[in-house]
Structure 1
């Protein structure tokens, strides 16, 4: 177990933060790397399908990027390997009317009740994909800070950066290339606002971090983001100096109506994808602030490269998790890293030079 526990007090954001998407005033100069985001995910485990729905706002310009990514199976190495991809890097600022956000490529997010309920709709111009999903909260709208360790050093605290995470029950329908699917899953959503996510090379030095939300029932909803501890013999060993900081920097567990902090996380990766390099089989042991210990084992049934952060390697996946009692959860597992790790893994996969 990681001995240095991350200090964390859990807070809840008001629902109106869902629509906190500010633009600079006429006399304001905002960092070009300051962003807001909205993320929603979903899965169809029986078809090994994962969905990544994302908007990234760049208010200094103002521009946006985002769209819908649908991936199936474990062989989505290139972005265009995905079953369906409509993700634009450069779009105008979305149209925001009342509680509804609509992007230039047709993704529509309606916050039916901010902080509680949202509807996601999208229809492909060529008819290949139709999506109509309703996401209803099953946990509080928990406050979350930065994503990457070290990223917080670049934030402008005067602008009050923030973020949130929440588990949703996602129901609806998806039609892909004429095949209709029912969607009924539990999946997280998250967002950031006024965070400075620097894209300059070398600005953030961190091993790969993995986000592993899980929903087993109202009595056990788990979430953590961490890098692999050095004592698990991770592939990043020798590439980074993490000092004595804990491997996790944000984690919580929901036990019915009670939200508890996680004080220690040990994430041990057992298998990696041969080309995507992400974890495809891993075990997690965690302890909460009441001393209760949790053990999970998971395996990827679908995974893909995702285009949202061009200066980093970003992977999304659908994981099949089991808890210590044998209960099963299907949920996203996401991992991100920068060029030092990617080059090292590519060289390792290539083998010794002759």
Structure 2
């Protein structure tokens, strides 16, 4: 495999270093842990996140659970316990616990994690086991251009992995069985600059999907210009590829993806998230993949104060008719958001 498809050791799961005594780190340097899960039959999605800010040291994060597509504001979602300013999480052996009670226990680092949370008002709780079904693949930056701000001497890095998530969710008195395939990812020692204009980029979409051991697909990209995206005229992207990280898992083989064409057919009328789209991709062996997807749940969520961030549960179908569900996430800056104000009164384009 190429270096971009390297595999990390499980010890990176617990890599959340702090500056040494007398050492000064960039205030925008962060570590993160992300997990998620879904209950597709109830149109429920969950975003579980910790963002570490070691220069201070502080953290932010917690638990967001959303249901359906009518979540216009953060406080519309089914359950929200996400704090912007928290102390550094408690680390007890292999267990990381935030101040608001979200707990990640790495039972087997790199392979198995237990996710737990109970609301202080008892409205919501979950107890889940996430077991790896793909390697712990090495991942770099998230936004195109972000890598220019990294301090490479600090060895920034990241990882992605698909998990089989099982357990129980209890929400407002109703219990749900959870059994899904959901990605997790994380970053360490990466610099996510929040200064205005520091990372000019069109909206970026992340579309992991698991159809079975023979086909696991993942990409992060912007819509290419030949699909007539709404961002056209707002950003200059030159001749760079629309994707900057993508892979496909075929059994025990991990392949790099060499091209991605993501064509959005429909956008949410208010929050502007892509709600229906098609993806065509080709891997390094020349195999071609086609996927059609539609959001069954979506929400505006926190995580980054200088962007508009969205999570969703997507129903994906491959070109053989197989169906799966997974998160689809999208992020953009204010230049795009302001331009979208004019689209709220326009009819949504259809295929």
When the two chains are superposed, the root-mean-square deviation of aligned CA atoms in Å is 0.8
State the distance in 2 between where 1:104 and 1:41 align: 19
Which position in structure 2 is the counterpart of 1:281? Answer: 276
1:301 to 296, 299, 317: 296
Whether 1:59 aligns to 2:54 is yes
Contact 2:4 2:139 in 1 (8 A): no
What TM-score comes out, normalization by structure 1 length? 0.97
| In 1, Cα distance between equivalents of 2:69 and 2:130 | 26
**Residues 268-308 of structure 1 deviation map (CA, whole Å, 9 limit, x = unaligned):** 00000001101000000000000000000000000000111
TM-score of the superposed pair, with normalisation by structure 2: 0.97
Per-residue displacement from partner, 1:117-170 (whole Å, max 9, x unpaired)?
000000000000011010000000000000000000000001000000000000
Corresponding residue for residue 220 of structure 2 = 225
Matches within 5 A, 1:113-132: 113-132=108-127
Report the equivalent of 2:349.
none
* Alignment of structure 1 residues 157-176 onto 2, 5 Å: 157-176=152-171
Shift of 1:8: 6.5
| Structure 1: segments with no counterpart, 5+ residues | 1-6
The one of 241, 245, 254 aligned to 1:246? 241
What is the match of residue 91 of structure 1? 86
Q: Distance in 2 between matches of 1:308 and 1:202?
A: 18
Q: Deviations over 1:102-125 (max 9, x none)?
A: 100000100000000000000000
* Structural mapping, 1:11-30, within 5 Å: 11-30=6-25
Alpha-carbon separation, structure 1, partners of 2:129 and 2:264: 34
Stretches (4+) displaced over 6 A: none
1:10 to partner: Cα distance: 1.0
**2:189 — aligned with what?**
194
Residue 105, structure 1, aligned to residue 100, structure 2: yes
SS of 1:9's equivalent? Answer: helix
Query: Are the equivalent residues in 2 in contact too, given 1:8–1:261 (CA < 8 A)?
Result: no
SS of the equivalent of 1:147 reads coil
| Contact 1:69 1:82 survives alignment (8 Å) | yes
* Partner secondary structure for residue 344 of structure 2: helix
2:265: which partner in 1? 270
2:129 corresponds in structure 1 to: 134
SS in 1 for 2:126: strand
Size of the alignment, in residue pairs? Answer: 345
Please give the secondary structure, in 1, of the residue aligned with 2:176.
strand
Q: How many Å separate the matches in 2 of 1:9 and 1:171? A: 30
Task: Report the alpha carbon displacement of residue 26 of structure 1 after superposing the two structures with TM.
Answer: 1.5
Specify the alignment match of 2:325 in structure 1: 330
Q: Shift of residue 9 of structure 1? A: 3.4
Query: Is the CA contact 1:8–1:250 (under 8 Å) kept in the aligned structure 2?
Result: no
Of 320, 334, 349, 1:339 maps to 334
Gaps of 5+ in 2: 347-351
Offset at residue 348 of structure 1 (A): 2.6
Select the residue among 139, 142, 155 that pairs with 1:144.
139
